[in-house]
Amino acid sequence: MADHREFNYRRLHSLLGVIPIGVFLVQHLVVNHFAVYGEESFNKAAGFMAGLPFVLVLETFVIYLPILFHAILGVYIVFTARNNVKNYGYFRNWMFKLQRITGVIVLVFIAWHVWETRIQIGLGNADLDYSLMENILTNPIMFWFYIIGVVSAVFHFANGLWSFAVTWGLTQSPKSQKVVSYATILIFLVISYIGVRTLIQFAYGA
C-alpha cells in the first residue's frame, strides 16, 4: 500500500512539473522576452499579466501551491532516489543526476527571485516594470546567478518531460524514448535561448 501511494505521489509530482509549472515557466519566459522589443513592450506585457482577473488566486493555486508540493517531494526524491544503470544506461543516469542537481538550484533560484520581485512589489518597495529587472541584472553577480537559474529551470523542465512521458506510459519502447530525448533537447535549446536572450537584454540592452 505504501509503495502504491508513493508511486501515485511521484506520478502527481511528474504531472505538476509539466502542468501547470512547466506551462507557467514557458509563459513567464515568453512574456519576459517582450523586453527584447523595448521597455514599453515589456511593461505592456507584464502589466497585462498582472491585470488578469483573480490574479492572486491564480498565482496561489496554479503556481505557488503546485511548486511547493513539487519542491517538497522533489527534495525527498533527491535524498532517497538511486541511479538505475541497468534500466537506463549511462546517458540517462547522467540526466537523472542533473535533474536532481538542477532541482536544488532551481529551488534556491525561485525563492530568491520571488523575494526580489513578487514580495518586494507586494511590500511596495518596487514596481512591476522593466527597470526592476534591469536594476537587478546590471549587477554581474546577479546576472550570472540568473543565467544559471534560468538555464537550470529550463533543463529541469525539458528533461522532466522525458520522465513524465515514461512515468505516464506515453513512451514504452526504447525507440519512442529516444525520439522524446531528441525532442526534449530541442525544447531545452529553444526555451533556453528565449530566457538567456531576455537576461542579456535587461543587463546590457543588447
60-94 confidence digits (pLDDT tens): 998 999 999 999 988 888 777 665 545 556 788 88
Residues with Cβ within 8 Å of 146's Cβ and at least 6 positions away in sequence, in order, are: 109, 113, 136, 137, 199
- DSSP letters, 170-185, are S--SHHHHHHHHHHHH
* Domain 2-204, architecture per CATH: Up-down Bundle (1.20)
> What pLDDT does residue 169 have?
87
Burial class of residue 155 (count of CB atoms within 10 Å of its CB; 0-12, 13-18, 19+) = buried
Show me where the domains of the chain are located.
2-204
> What pLDDT does residue 206 have?
63
> What pLDDT does residue 201 have?
97
> What pLDDT does residue 87 have?
56
- What nine digits make up the cell of 144? 550570472
Specify the amino acid at residue 90.
Y
For the entire predicted model, the pTM comes to: 0.92
What DSSP element (H or E) covers 29?
helix 21-32
> What pLDDT does residue 82 have?
64
Mean pLDDT rounded to a whole number for the chain: 91
pLDDT tens-digit profile of 112-171? 999 999 999 999 999 999 999 999 999 999 999 999 999 999 999 999 999 999 989 899
